[in-house]
Amino acid sequence: MSAARVLALSAARVLALLALLPASASAAVELDRAAPRVGSTIAAAPDRVVLDFSEAPEGASGEVRDAAGARVDVGGLTITKDSPRATLMVRPLGPGDYSVRWWAKSDDGDETQGRFFFRVVR
């Protein structure tokens, strides 16, 4: 058997073994969905913003701001232990545009952040 063929078979075996290894259990925490929905226009002002992440974050923070840049969240981000859900309570919101910024850290140390907007019309 030629050296090239032996090398090719060895490489194929290594790739086959790598395919059997489990994928990493952790990845960057991403925002799966939010309420109010990302980019939505809603008639009734919410009393909270709910963030559902792709996995339970090791740590996270967030804020909600009005169009003038003033913070309207109250008490900071609350994370339910071992849950991918986080909540930001907000003061009574009037009509207008609002931005939500969030930061999250996975258990393997990956940090991600994001921002989205929603509009209240009444």
Name the more confident of 21 and 111. 111
* Cα 1 to chain centroid, rounded: 52
Residues 22-76 have pLDDT tens digits of 444 557 899 999 999 999 999 999 999 999 999 999 999 999 999 999 999 999 9
pLDDT of residue 16: 52
Collapsing DSSP states into helix, strand and coil, what is residue 18?
Answer: helix
CATH class of 24-120: mainly beta
Spatial distance between the Cα atoms of 122 and 114, rounded to a whole number of angstroms: 26
Give domain limits for the chain: 24-120
pLDDT of residue 81: 84
Residues 74-111 have pLDDT tens digits of 999 999 888 999 999 999 999 999 999 999 999 899 99
- To which residue do tokens 């939505």 refer? 40
